[in-house]
Amino acid sequence: MTPSPLNPLYFNAYLTNFTLEDFITKAGLEVKVNRKYYKLTPVEKKVNVAGSRGQVVSQKVEKYERTELANLDKLKSGDLVEVELEIDSKNDYEYLLFEDPKASGFEPVEVRSGYNGNEMHAYVEFRDERVAFFVRALARGQHSLSYRLRAEIPGKFSALPTKASAMYAPELKANSDEINLAIED
């Protein structure tokens, strides 16, 4: 049947567009996560320690100066970066998971998963695309988790937000801001 002046044809169109360029902002009610990136610059430092016979011995110490990175900052290939997750909890919780997707041009310095002696006694898993922290008990207040990455591959990369969720209570969740960083040769 072909449309004619007596039989008008009506149609409707609906278009949605999703772009990867939208900046994702932090959200959360009971638990909040704020992720910060710091560039670590080595600082020459020596301390005096006691030697084997009680004499004073000068010893080099591994020390870094932390410079906070903002969105769209640039790094050099080979730079050391520390990622710090600042966690703010309004109540005591158990069995939480914090998943931090890493930007593609970065690789973790530490590659062995396990208990690494962090403040929250969290189990850490270093995966290909993210770093996961499993926290058995989260006390009320502010806490911090951190790990180190090395900038490797030149380019512009986006690190999606850190996701916090309770393993046995799916309604408890939060996320941090997204960050975009550039790595140069």
Give me the pLDDT at residue 83, please. 96
Domain assignment of residue 46, yes or no = yes
End-to-end CA distance of the chain: 65
The answer to whether position 91 is within a domain reads yes
Task: Answer yes or no: are the C-beta atoms of 88 and 98 closer than 8 Å.
Answer: no
**For residue 1, what pLDDT is reported?**
58
Q: In which region does residue 38 sit, left (phi positive, over 0), alpha (psi from -120 to 50) or beta (all else)? A: beta
What pLDDT is attached to residue 9? 79
- Give the DSSP letter of residue 23: P
- CATH number of the structural domain spanning residue 66: 2.60.40.690
- Supply the pLDDT for residue 119: 85
- Is residue 144 a part of any domain in this protein? yes
At 58-108, the pLDDT tens digits run 888 889 999 999 999 999 999 999 999 999 999 999 999 999 999 999 999
125 inside domain: yes
Split into its structural domains, the chain has a count of 1
Does a structural domain hold residue 4? no
Is the distance from CB of 131 to CB of 108 less than 8 angstroms?
A: yes
Residues of the chain with pLDDT under 70: 1-5, 17-21
Phi, psi of 45 (to 5 degrees): -145, 140
21 lies in some domain: no
| pLDDT at site 22 | 73
Are 71 and 179 contacting, i.e. CB atoms less than 8 angstroms apart? yes
Q: Is the dihedral of CA 100, 106, 108, 113 positive or negative?
A: positive
Range of the domain at 153: 27-184
Q: Is residue 51 part of a domain?
A: yes
Q: What is the pLDDT of residue 7?
A: 78
What CA–CA distance (Å, rounded) separates 15 from 152?
39
